[in-house]
Amino acid sequence: MLPLKLFAQKGPHTFDLSNKVTSDVERLFEQSNLDSIKKTLDIYQLLITEKSKVEDQHWLNIQYTHYFRLEGMLDSAEYYGKKAYTIAEDSYNLQLLAESNIHLARIYLGQNKLVSALNLLKVALKIVSEYDDVVKKGSILIDIGEINMQFKKYVTAYNNFDQLKKLKDKKNSHQINYLKSLALLNKGKIHVELQEYNELRKIIQTIDREGFVTPENDFEGYIQLLLLKGELAIALKDMKLAKKILLHAVKEANKKEILYAKLNAYTDLGNYYQKENSYEKAYEAYEKAYIISKQIKHLEREYIISIKLAHTLKYINKDQSIYFYNKSLVLSDSLFNREKLEAVVDMQTFYEVETQKNENVKLEELEFSQTLKLQQRTQVLYFAVAILFLLLIFIYVTFLTQKKTKKLNNQLSLSNNQLEITKIEMESMNKELIAKNDILRDTLAHSKEQGKQLNYQNNKINSSIKSAHLIQKSILTSSQRIEKAFPENFIFNQPKDIISGDFYWFVEIEGWKIYACVDCTGHGVPGALMSMMGNSLLYEIVRGRKIVEPSKILEELNNLVVHNLQQEDNDNNDGMDMSVIAIKENDLFFAGAKNPIYVVRDQKLTKLKGTRKTIGGQLNNVYEQYHWRLQPNDMVYLTTDGYQDQFGGAKAKKFMVGQLRQLFEEIASYPTDKQKKILSGTINDWMHEGKWEQVDDMLILGIRF
């Protein structure tokens, strides 16, 4: 990525403060002071109108393009980039057109529209080569090299960066040397991809020695240099040094609001923690990178980080891992569809650019011809005055007229030939477009047929799932039995899918009231199967074996799950997290497998912790049991983790257990039916605000004594 100070386009402007404008804007870009940049540009927008010079209008739109790209608002950046392109196109100014192409290409690069970006840069490279603009040529070669890197054409990209060695410009030697340092930085990335770490070490040493990549010259480049040093430390197995470098890179990246620098820093830090098997910390880093990728609408980076989150969450939260895996599949489809559309649009865009370039060349030839005619007439006039012979003047003018006529006829003949060639090329392109349209139409028809088949299969699956839902619902204890045992209670049960992996279980035996809140591995069909097994085993333990102590219930259930799933002989770690209470008169006994319960008395919440062992996985787990002496108006809550782990809110974060505890304290004094409505409204508003789907089943049980 090129430095901010190269973004501020210099040039003459129509109003008196022209030189101060460019220097002010360039200084603000160097400082990455985005708020001040926006305010400054809004002020100058009042001075530069449609009546201003073309160069002024073009300059202002290019600066807005820089600002919105750095803010990560790529749609707005593309809007101003296209405005600048239209201004250049309407004015037939090839240099402005090249400038517009360069900046539009950088936006498309951020949107992962690589083919569009590459075509624009190739046209710009031809134009700047004709005008011998060495600095712009160098920056374009770097952009083309970065695109080839994304296409994994590393040899081609390396050659692009190597071409900068030949560039020389005495007037702009500092900028040329800086561009060469950026080329070295990109070569370093290629050596990382090819695992050529000795070469990477040499590159880093050269960049450090030349001293052009600094936070002041190029903040993004400086962050990237730190990340390359982190990669080298990891390759050398110096994980302590790698961690120190990467944490420093994240700290530096957060000093400025340049989202791409933060995105790269958090992603590399997550990769480090992933290699160290520090999955919680890897998840925190990837989560921040994921939020930034959504903010800048970079589909490919969002897709890559979704896969990393899915892999990391396998070891932390399987339900969320499945969610991000499904998210990556949706993003993969979106990327594929966008690439197909881009290929069609690209052909049209490239043709329009080439046509405009040809028109500009013809206009320049016409202007040259008119200038030549004016000079010739002036020469004729001077000749006539000098010799004062009207007859010779007449003969000379006649001769010149015939010569010009012949020349014009030749030019017209040449133009007709060029038009004929252009016509043939357009007819050929039209045939190709028709053929591609036929292919797209056939593909659409095939997709519709597949859609019908998928709808049929989906209806069959939905029918089966609905039947499973009725079966699952029938085995749950009826609300009438629970209300008879606990007159003031509520059950908030919101499955992610039609059928659920969370379930509640209740039985009365020998004066004891046994109530359980269970979270099975997974949701949907897998979770429902586990819930059926769990329900059956609980009846066998309590009714069949007459076991009523919560800790003993959990120990028996754990061993039965291990045996039933044959977990002694395989790597299956499926199971359940749950809380169980047993109540007799005013005594409450509790035991939990990872899940706690909460008791609110006089608006003060007390947490009874569960044992940090799940149900299933290994035999003979022991679970701790608690005793609580109940008083009138005590409010007891049993819950699974789906509610507190739900993403949402304006900042796209989890609801979190702390916020849930505070909510319990606030609503504990309300009637139980009102508590249920508040819990439902709060979490659904939370999801709606952040535009998030539900990621897990949710179950909360509440009892007032």
- Where among 187, 210, 233 does a domain terminate? 210
User: Which region among 269-273, 348-352, 375-379 has the lowest average model confidence (pLDDT)?
Assistant: 348-352
Q: What distance in Å separates the CA atoms of residue 90 and residue 436, rounded to the nearest whole number?
A: 31
- Rounded CA gap, 281 and 202, in Å? 32
Cα(138)–Cα(141) distance, integer angstroms: 5
Residues 65 and 200 in one domain: no
In a domain? residue 308:
no
Range of the domain at 89: 1-131
Whether residue 303 is contained in a domain is answered as no
Cα-based distances in Å from 394 to 93, 375, 577, 697: 40, 18, 109, 100
Q: Output the pLDDT for position 540.
A: 94
504 in the same domain as 531 = yes
pLDDT digit string, tens, across residues 461-479: 666 566 566 676 767 888 8
Establish if 285 belongs to a structural domain: no
Instruction: Give the Cα separation of 282 and 265 in Å (integer).
Output: 12
Residue 221 CB: number of other CB atoms within 10 A?
23
Split at pLDDT 50, 70, 90, the class of 659 is very high
* Domain end position, chosen among 99, 131, 163: 131
pLDDT band at 43; cut points 50, 70, 90: confident
Longest CA pairwise span in the chain (Å) = 138
* Predicted pLDDT of residue 493: 94
Indicate which CATH number applies to the domain containing 567. Answer: 3.60.40.10
Residues 404 and 422 in one domain: yes
User: Is residue 244 one of the residues assigned to a domain?
Assistant: no
Q: Are 319 and 523 in contact (CB under 8 A)?
A: yes
Strand (E) or helix (H) holding 583: strand 576-584
List strands edge to edge, sheet with 698-704: 489-494, 698-704, 635-639, 597-601, 604-608
Q: For residues 199 and 190, what is the distance between their CA atoms, to the nearest angstrom?
A: 10
3 pLDDT more than 90: no
Indicate the angle between helix axes 74-90 and 94-110, nearest 10 degrees. 160
In a domain, 547, yes or no: yes
DSSP class per residue in 45-71: HHH--TTS-HHHHHHHHHHHHHHHHHT
pTM here?
0.48
Phi-psi region of 103 (alpha: psi -120 to 50; beta: other; left: phi over 0): alpha
Same domain (yes/no): 4, 74: yes
Measured N-to-C along each axis, helices 299-313 and 259-275 cross at an angle, to the nearest 10 degrees, of 30
Which distant-in-sequence residues (6+ apart) come within 8 Å of 206 by Cβ? Answer: 184
Nearest to 231 by CA among 277, 262, 185, 299: 185
Spatial distance between the Cα atoms of 405 and 421, rounded to a whole number of angstroms: 24
Mean pLDDT over each residue of the chain, to the nearest integer? 82
pLDDT at 402 over 60: yes
In a domain, 262, yes or no: no
Helix axes of 94-110 and 318-387: crossing angle, nearest 10 degrees = 180
Number of Cβ within 10 Å of residue 658's Cβ equals 9
Per-residue pLDDT tens for 171-190? 777 788 888 888 888 999 99
Verify that 161 and 78 share a domain, yes or no: no
Residues 6+ apart with CB under 8 A from 344: 436
For residues 529 and 545, membership in a common domain is answered with yes
Q: Which two tokens stand for residue 225?
A: 């240099």
Give the chain's length. 705
Same domain, 530 and 454: no
Is residue 431 pLDDT above 70, yes or no? yes
The predicted model gives 78-82 an average pLDDT of: 90
CA distance 472 to 262: 47
Verify that 514 and 448 share a domain, yes or no: no
pLDDT(79) > 50 = yes
Least confident of 38-52, 565-579, 597-611: 38-52
Give the other-Cβ count within 10 Å of 695's Cβ. 23
Question: Is residue 610 located within the same domain as residue 642?
Answer: yes
Provide the 8-state DSSP code for 641: S
User: Does residue 57 surpass a pLDDT of 70?
Assistant: yes
Q: What is the CATH classification number for the domain harbouring 28?
A: 1.25.40.10
CB 272 within 8 A of CB 242: yes
In whole angstroms, give the CA distance from residue 613 to residue 605. Answer: 24
The 3-state secondary structure of 538-555, one letter per residue: HHHHHHHCCCCCHHHHHH
Q: Which pLDDT band, with edges at 50, 70 and 90, does 420 fall under?
A: low
Q: Are residues 145 and 123 in the same domain?
A: no
The conformation of residue 166, written as its DSSP 8-state character, comes to G
Least confident window among 203-207, 226-230, 446-450, 554-558: 446-450
Rounded-to-integer distance, Cα 598 and Cα 702, Å = 10
Radius of gyration of the chain (CA): 36
Non-local (6+) Cβ contacts of 531 within 8 A are 472, 500, 501, 502, 503, 518, 520
For the chain, the domain total comes to 4
Query: Residue 251: inside a domain, yes or no?
Result: no
Question: Do 691 and 543 sit in the same domain of this protein?
Answer: yes
Paired tokens of 504: 């509640």
Q: Which two tokens stand for residue 102?
A: 């360069």
User: Long-range pairs for 463-466 at CB < 8 Å and ≥24 separation?
Assistant: 465/497, 465/498, 465/499, 465/525, 466/498
Q: Which of 210, 229, 258 is the last residue of a domain?
A: 210
pLDDT tens string 95-145: 888 888 888 988 888 777 888 888 989 888 888 888 788 888 888 998 999
Say if residue 30 is in the same domain as residue 72: yes
Buried b or exposed e, range 524-540, using 16+ CB within 10 angstroms: bbbbbbbbbbbbebbee
| Per-residue pLDDT at 13 exceeds 50 | no
Residue 554, token pair as written in the block: 């959990």
Structural domain contains residue 228: no
Q: Side chain identity at 89, as an amino acid letter?
A: E
* Arithmetic mean of pLDDT, 633-640: 96
Cβ neighbour number for residue 491 with a 10 Å cutoff? 18
Q: How far apart are CA 288 and CA 305, in angstroms?
A: 10
Residue 586, Ramachandran bin (φ over 0: left; ψ between -120 and 50: alpha; else beta): alpha
> What is the reported pLDDT for 22?
65
Under the banding of pLDDT at 50, 70 and 90, the label for residue 404 is confident
Give me 613's structure tokens: 């062992």
